[in-house]
Chain A
Amino acid sequence: MQLWLIPLLPLAGAAINGFTGRRTSRSVQNTVAIGSVLLSFLWVVKTLMALMPMEERYVEHYFTWMASGALNVGVDFAIDRLTAVMLCVVTGIGTLIHIYAAGYMKEEEGYYRFFSYLNLFMFFMLVLVLGGNFLLLFVGWEGVGLCSYLLIGFYFVKKSASDAGKKAFIVNRIGDFGFSLAMFLIVVTFGSLDFPTVFAKAQQFPIEESAGIITAICLLLLVGATGKSAQIPLFVWLPDAMEGPTPVSALIHAATMVTAGVYMCSRSAALFMKAPIAMDTVAIVGLATAVMAATIGLVQNDIKKVYAYSTVSQLGFMFLAVGLGAFSAGIYHLVTHAFFKALLFLGAGSVIHACHHEQDMRHMGGLRKKIPHTFNVLLIAALAIAGFPFMSGWYSKEEILGAAHHHHMWMYWAAWVTAGMTAFYVFRSIFLTFFGEYKGHAHPHESPWSMLGPLYVLAILSLIGGYIFPIPHILEPIFHGIVPAAHIEHSLADMILGSSPGIIGIFLAYIVYVAKPGLADTIKDSFSGVYNILYNKYFVDEIYDAAIVHPIERTSRNFFWKIVDVGIIDNGFVHGFSGAALNFGGLLRHLQSGVIRNYAAWTVIGVIGILSALTVLGGGR
């Protein structure tokens, strides 16, 4: 099947543009960048057609990457239905965003560099989903992190951009620390990193023996996932990541990379199902993140920041699903979220483009008439994320709410309220941007069709994607046998209850921001304490800085370096010893005469000493 072509095509694109981009024209660069991803997408389609119906896992082994002792890690690519879904999302959405980016980035310096990074990202993301063992998944995992770093810091002259890139990389490293420890434990426990071997052995483990170690493994995997997928406590990098160009936010920080954690946990479902404590932790982390991020999203003024927190929150929903054992619901939401959140970001990009790089919604308003196409598609995206009935997001959110309903009612209600907040903040952004009077000073203009085209495709997917891609049904064979079949009945009453928060949220946003424009400020003033906490994102960044970053830096500089290294070890012991033994200072002055003979004499003295010692010993024999 030549699965290797899928990731290697974008890699080739990255290499070509990276090496030749400074000498080629924009059209050549476009052809290479978009063409390579498009070909990759077509190859995915062709491969999947050939492999239908794909009841079994299909593997290709290329070569052994590293073999040591009992461990043998191969470069293996594998496809099953879960990977197939991810492949379609990554290459499909990836192609659309590449096309959009060609329009969006037209005026930018370093155009070829941007596309080289973006193609490189596609390579690593595809390795991540195709990898047949944990280590290869980890390769993709770290690789997408690298590309994220490069693309967030794309405008590297700006300090805020390079800071944000660095922060993303380091916070992700903390997550990867957990991931790698999980891998060490997996090898120690199961003797392999290959998915089928590990999962099969995990199945055979008697529960009383396995509970501790598998729980540890799963919790460590979760640490990895919280980094990559921006969950509590490692979510802090994602809002800052909005420093990157908007297509990057759409592709990497909404549709694909940040969902890698959800993919990884679903891939490891066989392990997680053996670790109930870890599952509960996943659900609670996901839910807490969903609630927290949604509350922050309510009060942000930067349109991209609103959608960034929205992404964090929606990822929380996915983890909630995973933690409840509703893996396919999590992936379902991953897919629909890829549609509507990519659309939200790209639409936001179109707005920002129209307003000449203005991102503050307080300086927008009334854009409905000026950029009607953008308004149309953003409205569809907003309805989808709000969970308006029969939009794509509605299907997946229903699944997740259903799972919560089945397990813990308190989780259900927390998720229910969060869904309401989601609808509220998204429509707040729509109303602030498109309704009322225009408050900016630019002359907004509609985006070109190279940008609008992908937007409409995504709009169609956001509209009907939930219906035409019944993910839980597609993924049945994957989770069958791992997850106990829970038939969740959707009664009409449940459906109405589940759909209501979205509609209520939209209605409230309409009241506050359109019907009674002064109301927002009144609320803000009467709850200024709460507002400040939310507006400042619960001060989490400040707390991390004060509790972790600064103490480490200060201790390293003032204690480890200046006191321990220079003071105690060097001035204390080293100079102390050598000074006592050899009168170091005097020796130094002596040697500083700079005559080579002196140095040579030292060496000769040494050699003579050695030889005489030898003679004594040798003679004594």
Chain B
Amino acid sequence: MNLLDLLIAAPLIGFLITLALPKGNTGLIKMFTLVFSLAVFAASLLLVGPTLDRPAIMTWVTDAPWITTPAIRYHVGMDGVSLWLVLLSTFLTPISILLSFKYIDKRIKEFYAFLLLLEFGLIGVFVSLDLFLFYAFWEVCLVPMYFLIGIWGHERRIYAAVKFFLYTMAGSVLMLAAILYLYSKAGTFDYPAILLMLETGKLALNHTEETLLFLAFFLAFAIKVPLFPLHTWLPDAHVEAPTAGSVMLAAVMLKMGTYGILRFCLPLYPNASKENANWIIILAITGIIYGALVALVQPNMKKLVAYSSVSHLGFVVLGMFSGNQWGLDGAVYQMLAHGISTGALFMLVGFLYERQHSLEIKDYGGVATPAPWLSTVFLVTTLASIGMPLLNNFVGEYLVLQGAAQVNIWWAVFAATGVILSACYMLWMYQRTFFGETPEEVTHHMHDLKAREWACILPLIAVMIWMGIYAQTFLPSIGASNKTILDRTQPARVAEVANNGR
């Protein structure tokens, strides 16, 4: 039982305690979940030091039997990539809770309980080293998000929730099949054990097997990312979700897909990853451009930000399949950066919604006059989102594009047009919302940021600036972990290990 185990268990315990709290005492529920999630965040910070000491390998490892037949193990651990994603989850959960204090007015207990359950699932996904355990956590995440959208969402919430559920299920069923197939061949779900068997040749996958398994995993992850053309659940889910749901969905849940690719697809199926890289990259670049173009013409702010996520996540996939250090480092950095800035964007759109109860851009205008600070933080977030240097996304995008250029300059050429387009759609939205004459309607409803809202947005702004100016807090550990992954996928090494195995 180490600190990581405690950290995994804590949100689940919090979830159960919250369910046990008296339903009527909403103040207590809010206060408890907020304090509890802050404590979880504080605890997660304690993981940083030791993990950063040896980011290339797994630390905080616990490996214990869970179910004997089939042999499912509770095997968890954390490297330099997992660390930051866990931190992203624990950082955003208290913020999402605080964010909802005013917004959520029905079934209050369940709402906060589900946020903690979601945190439980997310942390689990990012630290699982047993394939079945990973799958279990993967599904755990699905449930609270399904309810968050389905119960507390807007008008078409049921449609969006079911769509979200079915889409994701379709993918995860395939992944489950692939996991079970691997199990039938290897006799274990234990991920490091399977990797070792593959390396030593004890477990050999022929070309067809590897390709099919790769595709099954990849499809599940690609839906979650979401990779074009599997993205159409995302705009609906975002538009209908309550603010906190959108924030968690965009900021952390989408990263489950890209994390899965990095953690499982690339090391398990190095040859298939290489062989299929080209068409995946083409889809990723298509997504970058397509997402941006569709974002350009969205009349609804949340839809706009959702399509911008399709575009931004395209960069992540592009980086991952570039197959070099720059691409991978940039991809992971972009995952974190997108989490912060898009989380902040959804939050700010939520603030506007709380004031005027509309998500349509045309209902706004001239907001800068009555709410200058809200406009300022929105602008900073917008700039972060469009990859302004000294803010977080720039570093990730730069490294991804550099990695792509290393492989094929034309990939960088096409992908970089997404950077131009991002300025177009974001600044256009910003102009229509914040500039111009202020209509009566807006003047009537609009007011500047309140203390609670400041408390929500300021930490995100601070991280945006930090990640933009001093990337070296994060990059060395990300780089070390990625190097371990990359070494596995090098053809030379794969061939060499295979020869030794024979």
Interface residues of A (CB under 8 A from B): 63-71, 135, 138-139, 142-143, 146, 149, 153, 156-157, 159, 162-163, 166, 169-170, 173-174, 176-177, 180-181, 183-185, 187-188, 552-553, 555-557, 560-561, 564-565, 569-570, 573-574, 578, 582, 587-588, 591-592, 596, 599, 602-603, 606-607, 610, 613-614, 617-619, 621
CB under 8 Å from chain A, chain B span 451-478: 469-472, 475-476
Asked whether, in the complex, the Cβ of B293 is within 8 Å of the Cβ of A555, the reply is yes
Give bound CA distance, A569 to B310, whole Å: 15
Q: How far is the CB of B464 from chain A (nearest CB, A)?
A: 14
Check if B395 sits within 8 Å of A169, measured CB to CB. no
Interface residues in chain B, defined as those with a beta carbon under 8 Å from any beta carbon in chain A? 69-70, 139, 143, 146-147, 150-151, 158-159, 162-163, 165-167, 169, 176, 180, 183-184, 187, 229, 232-233, 290, 293-294, 296-298, 324-326, 329-330, 366, 368-369, 383, 388-390, 395, 398-399, 401-402, 405-406, 409, 412-413, 416-417, 419-420, 423-424, 427-428, 431, 434-438, 469-472, 475-476, 479
Once bound together, how far apart are the Cα atoms of A1 and B406, in whole Å?
Answer: 38
User: Smallest CB–CB gap between B175 and chain A, Å?
Assistant: 11
Additional 17 contacts, C-beta under 8 A, given A184-B409, A564-B290: A65-B470, A66-B395, A67-B476, A71-B402, A142-B388, A143-B389, A146-B388, A157-B437, A159-B436, A162-B436, A181-B405, A184-B401, A552-B293, A553-B296, A561-B294, A574-B163, A574-B233
Chain B residues positioned under 8 Å from A582 (CB to CB): 166
User: Which residues of chain B are within 8 angstroms of A63 by Cβ–Cβ distance?
Assistant: 470, 472
Known: A67-B472, A613-B180. Contact between A553 and B297, CB under 8 A?
yes
Chain A residue with minimal CB distance to B330? A68
Closest to B366 in A: A157
Contact (Cβ within 8 A) B139 A606: yes
Can you identify 18 A-B contacts, CB atoms within 8 angstroms?
A: A66-B472, A67-B475, A69-B326, A142-B389, A143-B388, A177-B416, A177-B419, A183-B402, A185-B409, A556-B296, A565-B232, A565-B294, A592-B158, A599-B146, A603-B143, A617-B70, A617-B184, A618-B69
- Which chain A residues border B427 with CB–CB below 8 Å? 149, 166, 169-170
Q: Are A65 and B469 in contact (CB under 8 A)?
A: yes
With both beta carbons as reference points, the residue of chain B lying nearest to A142 in the complex is identified as: B389
Q: Is the CB of A180 within 8 A of B390?
A: no
**Complex Cα–Cα for A69 and B401 (A):** 14
Minimum CB–CB distance from B162 to chain A (whole Å) comes to 6
Of chain B, the residue at the smallest CB distance from A113 is B372
Q: Which 9 A-B pairs give the minimum distances between C-beta atoms?
A: A69-B325, A184-B405, A618-B70, A557-B297, A556-B293, A66-B471, A162-B435, A139-B389, A156-B435
| Interface pair B294/A65, CB less than 8 Å apart | no
Q: How far is the CB of A294 from chain B (nearest CB, A)?
A: 30
Residue pair A162, B147 in contact (C-beta under 8 Å)? no
In the assembled complex, which residues on chain B have CB atoms less than 8 Å from the CB atom of A613?
176, 180
Which residues of the partner chain B approach A555 to less than 8 Å between Cβ atoms? 293
Q: How far is the CA of A588 from the CA of B293 in the complex (A)?
A: 31
Selected from B147, B398, B435, B479, the residue in CB contact (under 8 A) with A599 is B147
B183 touches A169 (CB 8 A): no
Chain A residues whose C-beta falls within 8 Å of the C-beta of B232 in the assembled complex: 565, 569-570, 574
Smallest CB gap from A64: residue in B: B472
* B329 near A180: Cβ-Cβ < 8 Å: no
Name the contact of B412 in the complex, choosing from A139, A184, A596 (C-beta under 8 A).
A184
Measured CB to CB, the closest approach of chain A to B476, in angstroms, equals: 7
- For A621, give its contact among B70, B428, B435 (CB under 8 Å): B70
A157-B369 contact, Cβ under 8 Å, with A65-B469, A170-B423: yes
Among candidates A185, A560, A573, A578, residue contacting B405 with C-beta atoms closer than 8 Å: A185
In the docked arrangement, what's the CA distance between A587 and B166, Å?
A: 11
> Given A66-B471, A157-B366, A157-B369 in contact, is the A181-B70 Cβ separation under 8 Å?
no
Q: Is there contact, CB below 8 Å, between B423 and A181?
A: no
Partner of B297, one of A65, A157, A556, A570: A556
Contact (A68, B143) CB under 8 Å given A138-B389, A177-B417: no
Q: How far is the CA of A156 from the CA of B379 in the complex (A)?
A: 13
Task: Name the distance in Å between A616's Cβ and chain B's nearest Cβ.
Answer: 10
In the complex, are the beta carbons of B436 and A69 less than 8 A apart? no
A69 engages B472 (CB within 8 Å): no
Contacts of A162 in B (CB 8 A): 431, 435-436
With a cutoff of 8 Å between Cβ atoms, the chain A residues found around residue B329 in the complex are 68-69
